[in-house]
Amino acid sequence: MHRLDLFGDPLMRFVLFFLLVFKVIEAHSQAYLNRDSLWQALQHASRDSNHVTLYIQLGQQYENNSPDSALWLYEQALKLSEQLNYTRGIISYYTNATYVYNAMSRYDTSLLLNLRSVEIATAFGDPERLGACLSNTGASFMALKRYERAIAYFLQAIQIYEKLNDLNTLSIIYRNLAVVYRETRHLDKAKHFAEQSLVIARKSGNEHAIIPSLINLSNVFTSLGQFKNSIALLEEARILSKRTANVYSVLVTALNLNDIYTKTTAFDKAKGYADEALVLATELDDRESVAIALRGLANYYFNKGQAAKAEEYATRSLAQALKYGFTEDIMKGYAMLAEIAILNREFEKNILYALKSDSIGNFLFNESVARNMQELEIKYESERKERHIHELQQAAEIKDLTIRQSRLFNYILIGSLVALAIIALLARRTYQHRKKLFEQESQVQMAQISKLKSEKQLLASEAVIKGQEEERGRIAKDLHDGLGGLLSGVKFSLANMKSNVILDADSQLVFERSLDMLDHSISELRRVAHNMMPEVLVKFGLTEALKSYCDNLRESQIFKIDFQSIGTDTRLEGKKEIFIFRIVQELLNNAARHAKATHVLVQVTHQANELTITVEDNGTGFDLEKHQREAGAGWINIRSRVEYLKGKLDVQSSAGLGTSVHIIIPVV
């Protein structure tokens, strides 16, 4: 029986739960006083640094069961610290508030606060507090899966804590680095840091530190395929977790053991741990773990060939993930149901569920890749442009200083050499001439600065547009060559099956209808792939692609369309052809969706070094002033592409009189 690997990563959430805690507690902390005692002490305390400490201590009592109350108390501590200019209190606010935001999964907010805390701690000069702020910032970047930045901050924190000889905190940071390197598939480094973390934790004898270190190293061994080592570490972690009544870590070890025994096809053992995890996750109200445990049970019944039970648990897991928005679990839930559909010989359901799973998976992958690529490109270009701008500004300051020195010299000359009035007058004229030249040069430099800023914005837009087009092409190729080929193969198999199977009349009708639906799916898939990246555009150029697109619109009877091309035999640069095609495509989509037009004219003319595009329709039109204020995403895309091509866009429209769009693009 085919074995599925459709689990989440319980360790990652476990690590965040335990490791996003880097607080600097005051030496006179009373963290274990009850709330009533702290409230009474707060009411009688003077408005000084002790009052700030009481706010922090009281907030810690509310962190786990009333985070909003904890945040309010921390904000009171911040306000009083700012009034007193008490830097330690300000830093304590950031280290405690970010812990609460992390526990609430509000990692973006936590990151902003952590970055600010690093600035304050650096200025304050306290190594211990700076180390805590750097560690928290690295943990926020890790939670947001921005691993390169996370590593940079963790390594800075390690340098501080090595000097302080703070082994407990070093163990925590090593665990975090092990997770980061495991997520980025640097498994040798992940193993190194995980082992270091465990060695330090064992030396300390702190079982609460040993448990996450054991699970962390176990997960690295799982990634390396060393399942025996992983199981041994998890069993030790379970013993310690039960001895310390750490129910959450018992849940995590159960989920991880379920995953490993599924990978090694020990399905009966895997089921036992899945059952245990489901009970614990329900008791703890850990919603994502509930979804993972249900999927583990579905996987067990699938591998045992019990399709009905497998579908029941997979459906419950997917419902849980959909209810609480766990994107990766939704993707894996659909993948699980797709496999079960094959077991039930429900091939249409298999295709539907597989498409949904792949769509979510592509979205998650592409979102991560696009974000990283754009961040790197924009960062590089921004730094280069800012350097150039800084150099120009420095040159302007030097020239300004030169003019001021010249002015002072002229004033002294005029005051002290009255007898030389004619010479002074000539000197003044010289000064005025130099000042005028300086002002002209300053204007030129300011224009250069403005141009560089515009180029910086244009490069950012280019990176986004280029990424969109490359992704469209990739998805179109995947749909056409991958899924299209798969569907065609399914059709061919069904057609061959038809000749070898005797069907009654009703079954024959259903079979024929299924083939028709498959044909329709293949046609629809090819239409979508064609619209995302028309093959004719790549092979035959802009004119043929636009003519083909207009012919398709005409055949769909959306409206009557006339296409004219003049002097467009010469092909343009590939990127320009794609951008121009997208502009016309978006204009025609607007005419179809919004204008209610019955007749559209598309005209493309290539004369000298200019390409002229005209799109006119007899639709409802719109108010130009209102359109400029409230332009939708389609018009924003059109304008950004025209600006990138250094073109000019002219739109003429009024209510009830149709729309005329005229675009001129320079071509070489």
Q: Left (φ > 0), alpha (ψ -120 to 50) or beta: where does 165 sit?
A: left
Rg of the chain over CA atoms, in angstroms? 34
- The answer to whether 81 and 89 are in contact (CB under 8 A) is yes
- At 22, list the tokens: 């880097």
For residue 653, give the 3-state DSSP assignment. Answer: strand
Tell me, what's the pLDDT at 212?
A: 92
How far apart CA 489 and CA 492 sit, in angstroms, is: 5
Q: Is the separation of the CB atoms in 615 and 588 below 8 Å?
A: yes
Structure tokens at 243: 């001895």
The torsion angles phi and psi of 31, rounded to 5 degrees, stand at -65, -20
Query: Can you count the helices (H) and strands (E) in the chain?
Result: 26, 5
Under DSSP, is residue 597 helix (H, G, I), strand (E, B) or coil? coil
pLDDT attached to residue 8: 39
Q: Which residues of 423-462 are buried (b: 16+ CB within 10 A; e: fewer)?
A: ebeebeeebeeeeeebeeeeeebeeebeebeeebeebeeb
Q: What is the pLDDT of residue 107?
A: 82
pLDDT at 7: 39
- Give the per-residue pLDDT at 26: 38
Residue 6: what pLDDT? 39
pLDDT tens for 248-262 read 999 999 999 999 999
| Contact in structure between 414 and 453 (CB atoms under 8 Å) | no
Q: What is the DSSP letter of 75?
A: H
Query: What are residue 106's phi and psi, to 5 degrees?
Result: -95, 70
pLDDT value at residue 530: 55
Q: Could you tell me if 247 and 283 are in contact, meaning their C-beta atoms sit under 8 angstroms apart?
A: yes
Closest CA to 322 of 303, 344, 352, 294: 294
- Looking at residue 455, its pLDDT comes to 58
Number of C-beta neighbours around residue 494 at 10 A: 15
Phi, psi of 125 (to 5 degrees): 85, 20
Ordered strands of the 610-617 beta sheet: 560-566, 599-607, 610-617, 659-666, 648-653
Walking along the chain (668 residues) 10 residues at a time, the average pLDDT comes out as 38 42 40 68 83 87 83 90 88 85 83 88 86 89 89 93 90 93 93 94 89 93 94 95 92 94 93 94 91 94 92 93 89 91 88 86 61 48 55 60 65 68 70 68 62 55 55 56 59 62 70 71 61 69 84 81 85 81 86 82 88 90 73 76 86 85 87
Predicted model pTM: 0.51
Q: Is 650 helix (H, G, I), strand (E, B) or coil?
A: strand
Which 8-state DSSP code applies to residue 558? S
* Crossing angle of helices 247-263 and 227-243, rounded to 10°: 160
What is the model's pLDDT at position 441?
64
Query: What's the full length of the chain, in residues?
Result: 668
Query: What pLDDT, on the 0 to 100 scale, is given for residue 30?
Result: 38
What is the model's pLDDT at position 259?
Answer: 93
Following DSSP, what letter does each residue of 514-545 receive, concatenated? HHHHHHHHHHHHHHHHHHHS-HHHHHH-HHHH
CA atoms of 393 and 306, how far apart (whole Å) = 73
666 - beta bridge partners?
610
pLDDT at residue number 24: 43
Long-range contacts formed by 436-440: CB under 8 A, 24+ apart: 438/399, 438/400, 438/403
